[in-house]
Amino acid sequence: MKKNKLTVIGLAFAGLLLAACDAKPTPSTSTSAGTSDSASASSSAVEPDLRNADLARGKLTYTDENGQEKNLTRSRIYAASGAPHVDSRPATGVKQKLLVAPIKFQKDPTDAKDTIEANDELLAKINLSFVGDDEALKTVAGAEIYSVKSFYEKSSFGKGAFDVVVLPCWIEYNGTAKAFQTSASNQGGGVAMSNYVKSWYATEYAKAGHGALGADWQYKWSDFDSDKDGYLDLIWQVYAYPYTEHDTSFWWAYVTYTGNQKNVADPNIMTLAWASTNFMSKFNGYDTHTFIHETGHTLGVNDYYDYNNAWKPMGGVDFMDHNLGDHGAYTKFMYGWVEPYVLREEDLADDKVAEITLRAQTTSGDCLVLASPDYNGTAYDEYFMVELVGPYGICERDYKSGYESTKGFTKPGLRITHVDGRMYQRDHDTYIKDPNELGRNGGDFRVSNSYGGRNNMRDDQDWWPNEDGSVKKWFCEQHLMESNLDAQNNCLTSPQYSATNGTLFVKNQRFTLTNNSGWAKTFMPSGTNLWNKAKTITGWNGTSKQKFTIDENCTCNFYLKVKDIVTDPTYGAIATITVNLAK
């Protein structure tokens, strides 16, 4: 679902695979021998110089104008930009409130679409889908799915959990759905309804016995502003009316922002989510996938699918792509939920070798950043993210059984993604290197996972051109570096591509960008081992041809080998990898 500030968010050639000598070539690559180990320093016969405990960790904080240390989350950066979001890493002991408002309309016998019965049974399904415990939801849904509350408790390792409150009754709009759409045409459904909801709540709460809310209702409106910033933390408006496929302007699932001014005494709504009860239709009417996905946007991250349907950078397997599994390590880094190990090339100088252990990310939070030169230590820079993924924890059902025709990873392996999370403030041609500047003054991403940019405008179009500007290889915010290389059919060439077990790196497989490796030629915009940041934009000729310089020394020289992946009763799986510098 689309994301714009204060607006709506949405939805082979030889030698490519450096596999072990006894591994069979994948069907998508040629059968000639892969690059031999002679191209790199051998890392298997020496005692490692560095282990997990020797590595720096990703930076999750910044220092504000008063010298106070605060969390550097995507939501914090949005707030500094003037667009408050839900706090993905609230202060210890303070959970963000998530208010769920079920919406019904007066029946319209002339409206053929008006088919949903907003009754007690549907209200109970909304309640369980948002707050139900795992066993209760599994029993009625007939599958291992999770409520919104349970998912975010588990995905965040308790760091970004919500205190979810579902209203005990329907809010009945004083008119039909058609009448509401007509009256809200200038504001959009979500924003217009939020005004109605606030007024309705104030009226009912003021009545004897709190009106439709009931005498036992314990929440004042201001209770839903847990951080006392003058805004409700988050409101989910779940309406009983069919959605219109891909109508991002009204009857669809999205997150948006009202632009209201803060009011500490009587909090206003800023961040809201809006979706039809029909999104719950699967799993016996308890499907939570869309609600989990949209809640991810309220914490500040983009969609990872391509709005222009030209490629599929994450291959579908991510909750911010095709709504399945779990949030990936990059997303959790932005949320402030994981603290990656960080490996820089200078750490491996003088032929040093690092041996790193990674437990499955979704059950442990483990992940590794292979940093670009001059890396600022945060999620908001360029790097490779390495994480062990597989059918464990909250990923298990989706990965094994699939969701909406997309399956996940049924066997464990390392997922390696190229992240370009650099941000800008006012001058898109530059990027912010200082984490303190991001936290204090905000910023937005230079690029997205939509081919050519989310808005098809220059302000999120970064590419690597040939010297004559004739060929543009677009930058992504995050994309796969696939193990089973296919230069013609991959995540950056085909919108039909889907990630598979073969996408992941497994025991004895290697990854490197050096020596014109297949990964560099196929997946790096430069077509070489140069990072995106090797290019500096110095100006424009018109609106399409960049002036730029290239730093030929801004190269990636990591050489990673998967030493082993073993099963583990607690985390599902554990991987051991070695990293050194290629020669």
Partners of 275 in beta bridges:
238
- DSSP code for 460: G
> What contacts 401, CB < 8 A, 6 or more positions away?
143, 407
Residue 406 makes CB contacts below 8 A (sequence gap 6+) with 316, 317, 322, 324, 498
* pLDDT tens by residue, the chain, 583 residues: 433 333 344 433 223 333 333 333 333 333 222 333 434 444 445 789 999 999 999 999 999 999 999 999 999 999 998 877 799 999 877 899 999 999 999 999 999 999 999 999 999 999 999 999 999 999 999 999 999 999 999 999 999 999 999 999 999 999 999 999 999 988 899 999 999 999 999 999 999 999 999 999 999 999 999 989 999 999 999 999 998 766 667 888 999 999 999 999 999 999 999 999 999 999 999 999 999 999 999 999 999 999 999 999 999 999 999 999 999 999 999 999 999 999 999 999 999 999 999 999 999 999 999 999 999 999 999 999 999 999 999 999 999 999 998 999 999 999 999 999 999 998 888 999 999 999 999 999 999 999 988 765 555 568 898 767 677 889 999 999 999 989 999 999 999 999 999 999 999 999 999 867 899 999 999 999 999 999 999 888 776 677 889 999 999 999 999 999 999 999 999 999 999 999 8
How many angstroms separate the Cα of 70 from the Cα of each of 66, 82, 439, 495, 538? 11, 17, 8, 39, 34
Q: What is the DSSP string of 322-367?
A: TS-S---HHHHHHHT----EEE-GGGGTTT--EEEEEEBHHHH---
What is d(CA 152, CA 162) in angstroms, rounded to the nearest whole number? 7
Contact 291, 47 (CB under 8 A): no
State both tokens at 450. 């939509």
**Residue written as token pair 């591509």:** 497
Q: Whose structure tokens read 């504000």?
A: 64
CA distances from 125 to 218, 277, 502, 577 (A): 22, 9, 38, 45
476 backbone dihedrals φ, ψ, rounded to 5°? -110, 155
The answer to whether 315 and 497 are in contact (CB under 8 A) is yes
Token pair of 338, please? 């994981």
Q: What does the H/E/C string look like for 494-552?
A: CCCCCCCHHHCECCCCEEECCCCCHHHHHHCCCCCCECHHHEEEEEEECCCEEEEEECC
For residues 303 and 313, give the distance between their C-alpha atoms in angstroms, rounded to a whole number: 11
Under DSSP, the state recorded for 18 is: -
Question: How far is the C-alpha of 482 from the C-alpha of 418, rounded, in Å?
Answer: 10
DSSP state of 179: H
Helix (H, G, I), strand (E, B) or coil at 131: helix
What is the rounded CA–CA span in Å between residue 137 and residue 263? Answer: 37
In sequence order, what are the residues at sequence separation of 6 or more whose Cβ sits closer than 8 angstroms to the Cβ of residue 329? 338, 340, 361, 367, 385, 387
Instruction: Answer for the pair 336, 71: CB distance below 8 angstroms, yes or no.
Output: yes
